[in-house]
C-alpha cells in the first residue's frame, strides 16, 4: 500500500479513538443520553475493512457503529449531533447513537437488534444481484450474534443465491459480559460458515494491514460473483459493553494485556516513548494504533512531527464536531410529526428524499 493509503488509515484510527473518547466524556456530563456503545480497541477492524470498500458498496452495522459511520465518510459533526439528539444529526436527531443512517454514503444503519443486520444485508445484496450491479454489501456483527437464527438463515440464503455479501464478525470475545466459550459451543466463528459452503478466514483484528488485506481479497471474490465470504476478526474492546457497564466481569489484567497489543499505542510508543495526548492517557500501554504507527514509522512515512500533526488534526476535527453539536437545536414537536408523516406517506423529511 502506498503512503497515502497508510496515512489515511492511521488518521482514521486516530480520529475514531479521539471521537469515541470525546463521546464518553459528553455522556458523563449528560449531553448524550440513552445507551452508548464505544469502539476503542477495535479501530483496526472498521478502518481495515472499509478502506477496502468502494463508494458504491453498502454497509450494515450494529449498535456499536459510530466508527463504521465515521470511516465511511459521514461527517463527525453530524454523527456527534445525532448522539446528542440534535436536528442537524445524520438521522435528524430521531435515532441517537444506535441509529446512524446515510443514504448518500450507503450506510444502512446503525441497527440495535442483535442479529437484525443479517437479513437487512442479504435483502440489500439480493437487490444488487437482481440488478447485476458491481457492488458488495458489507455486514458487520459481533460474536454474540452468531447464535441467532437470522445468522444461519441468512448465511444459507446468501450461499444458495450467491449473494454479494461480505460478513464481518468483530469477535471481541464478549457478548455483553458473557465470554464466548460460555455462549457458543464452537468458539471459532469462521468455522460455522463451512456449514453453508461459504469461504471464511480468521484474521488478527488488531492489525489493520492484515484486516485490510483479508477484506480486499474477500471483496474481490464477492465482486467476481463467487458469492458470500466471511471474515472473523479477533479484536477487543477496552471499555465495557456500554457506558452503563464497568466491565468488572473481566479477569484482572485482561484489559491491560490486550492494550499491550493495541494498534494505536504501539505506534505512539515507537515515536515518542511518552503518553501525552488525551486518548493515550486514557489507554496506557502499546495498542492497535500504536503498532500500525510503528510500522508506518519504520517504513519512513512518519518523519518529523507527522504523527503529532495527524493527531492534532483529529483532535481539532472532534473539537469542531463537539462545538457544532452543542449549539445545534433539538428537533421540536413539528419535526417529530414530519418524521411520523414521512414514515407513513413517504414524504420528504427535512429536505431529504424518502429512502
Ligand atoms: C435480539 C436482541 N436480543 C438481545 C439484545 C440485547 N443485547 C444488546 S447487545 C448484546 C450482546 C451482543 O454482543 P456482540 O454481538 O458480541 O457485540 P459486542 O457488543 O461485543 O460488540 C445483547 C444481548 C438485543 N439488542 N437484541
Ligand atoms: Mg462481542
Over residues 196-226, the pLDDT tens digits come to 999 999 999 999 999 999 999 999 999 999 9
Span 175-189, average pLDDT: 95
Q: How confident is the model at residue 346 (pLDDT cuts 50, 70, 90)?
A: low
List, for residues 273-327, the tens digit of each pLDDT value.
Answer: 333 343 343 333 357 888 898 889 899 998 888 999 999 999 999 999 999 999 9
Give the pLDDT score at 62. Answer: 98
Measure the CA–CA gap between 299 and 325, rounded to whole angstroms. 38
Give the pLDDT score at 262. Answer: 66
From the CA of 155, how far away is ligand 2's center (Å)?
19
**Domains, the chain:** 3-337 (3.40.50.970)
The bound ligand whose nearest atom lies closest to the alpha carbon of 63 is 1
Give the pLDDT score at 71. Answer: 98
- Ligand 1 atom nearest the C-alpha of 37 is 19
Give the pLDDT score at 39. Answer: 97
CB of 171 within 6 A of ligand 1: the answer is no
- Ligand 1 atom nearest the C-alpha of 116 is 1
Check if the beta carbon of residue 115 is closer than 8 Å to that of residue 147.
no
Under 8 Å CB-to-CB from 311, ≥6 apart: which residues? Answer: 14, 18, 277
Measure the CA–CA gap between 254 and 250, rounded to whole angstroms. 7
Give the pLDDT score at 353. Answer: 52
CB of 235 within 6 A of ligand 1: the answer is no
Give the pLDDT score at 1. Answer: 84
* Residue 217 grid coordinates: 481479497
Give the pLDDT score at 277. Answer: 41
List, for residues 47-100, the tens digit of each pLDDT value.
Answer: 999 999 999 999 999 999 999 999 999 999 999 999 999 999 999 999 999 999
List, for residues 89-136, the tens digit of each pLDDT value.
Answer: 999 999 999 999 999 999 999 999 999 999 999 999 999 999 999 999
349 pLDDT higher than 70: no
- Ligand 1 atom nearest the C-alpha of 241 is 19
Give the pLDDT score at 294. Answer: 86
From the CA of 3, how far away is ligand 2's center (Å)?
33
Give the pLDDT score at 235. Answer: 94
Check if the beta carbon of residue 237 is closer than 8 Å to that of residue 171.
no
Check if the beta carbon of residue 278 is closer than 8 Å to that of residue 311.
no
Give the pLDDT score at 310. Answer: 93
Under 8 Å CB-to-CB from 107, ≥6 apart: which residues? Answer: 59, 61, 68, 69, 72, 74, 100, 101
Q: Which residue has the higher pLDDT, 299 or 265?
A: 299
Q: Where are the alpha helices (DSSP H) in the chain?
A: 3-29, 43-51, 66-72, 76-83, 117-130, 149-160, 180-183, 189-192, 208-223, 254-259, 263-271, 278-282, 288-298, 306-327, 333-345
Give the pLDDT score at 340. Answer: 79
CB of 172 within 6 A of ligand 1: the answer is yes
Span 157-171, average pLDDT: 98
Give the pLDDT score at 270. Answer: 41
CB of 113 within 6 A of ligand 1: the answer is yes
Span 30-57, average pLDDT: 96
CB of 150 within 6 A of ligand 1: the answer is no
CB of 12 within 6 A of ligand 1: the answer is no
Amino acid at each position: 500500500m502506498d503512503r497515502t493509503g497508510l496515512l489515511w488509515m492511521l488518521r482514521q484510527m486516530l480520529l475514531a479513538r479521539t471521537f469515541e473518547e470525546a463521546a464518553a466524556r459528553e455522556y458523563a456530563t449528560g449531553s448524550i443520553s440513552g445507551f452508548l456503545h464505544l469502539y476503542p480497541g477495535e479501530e483496526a477492524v472498521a478502518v481495515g475493512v472499509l478502506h477496502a470498500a468502494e463508494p458504491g458498496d453498502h454497509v450494515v452495522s450494529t449498535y456499536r457503529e459510530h466508527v463504521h459511520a465515521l470511516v465511511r465518510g459521514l461527517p463527525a459533526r453530524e454523527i456527534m449531533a445525532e448522539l446528542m439528539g440534535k436536528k442537524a444529526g445524520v438521522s435528524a436527531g430521531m435515532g441517537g447513537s444506535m441509529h446512524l443512517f446515510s443514504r448518500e454514503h450507503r450506510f444502512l444503519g446503525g441497527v440495535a437488534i442483535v442479529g437484525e443486520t443479517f437479513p437487512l444485508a442479504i435483502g440489500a445484496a439480493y437487490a444488487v444481484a437482481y440488478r447485476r450491479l458491481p457492488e458488495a454489501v458489507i455486514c458487520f456483527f459481533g460474536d454474540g450474534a452468531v447464535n441467532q437464527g437470522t445468522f444461519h438463515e441468512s448465511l444459507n440464503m446468501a450461499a444458495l443465491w450467491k449473494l454479494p455479501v461480505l460478513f464481518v464478525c468483530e469477535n471481541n470475545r464478549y457478548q455483553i459480559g458473557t465470554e464466548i466459550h460460555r455462549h457458543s459451543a464452537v468458539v471459532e466463528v469462521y468455522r460455522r460458515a463451512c456449514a453453508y459452503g461459504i469461504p471464511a478466514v480468521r484474521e488478527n483484528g488488531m492489525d489493520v494491514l492484515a484486516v485490510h488485506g483479508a477484506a480486499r481479497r474477500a471483496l474481490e471474490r464477492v465482486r467476481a460473483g463467487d458469492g458470500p465470504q466471511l471474515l472473523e476478526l479477533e479484536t477487543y474492546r477496552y471499555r465495557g459493553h456500554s457506558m452503563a457497564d464497568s466491565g468488572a466481569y473481566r479477569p484482572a489484567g485482561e484489559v491491560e494485556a490486550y492494550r499491550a497489543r493495541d494498534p494505536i499505542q504501539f505506534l505512539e510508543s515507537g515515536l515518542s516513548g511518552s503518553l501525552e495526548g488525551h486518548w493515550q492517557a486514557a489507554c496506557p500501554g502499546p495498542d492497535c494504533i500504536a503498532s500500525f504507527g510503528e510500522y508506518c514509522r519504520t517504513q519512513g512515512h512518519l518523519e518529523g512531527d507527522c504523527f503529532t500533526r495527524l493527531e492534532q488534526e483529529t483532535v481539532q476535527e472532534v473539537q469542531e464536531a463537539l462545538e457544532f453539536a452543542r449549539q445545534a437545536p433539538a428537533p421540536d414537536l413539528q419535526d417529530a410529526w414530519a418524521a411520523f408523516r414521512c414514515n407513513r406517506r413517504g414524504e420528504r423529511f427535512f429536505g431529504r428524499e424518502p429512502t
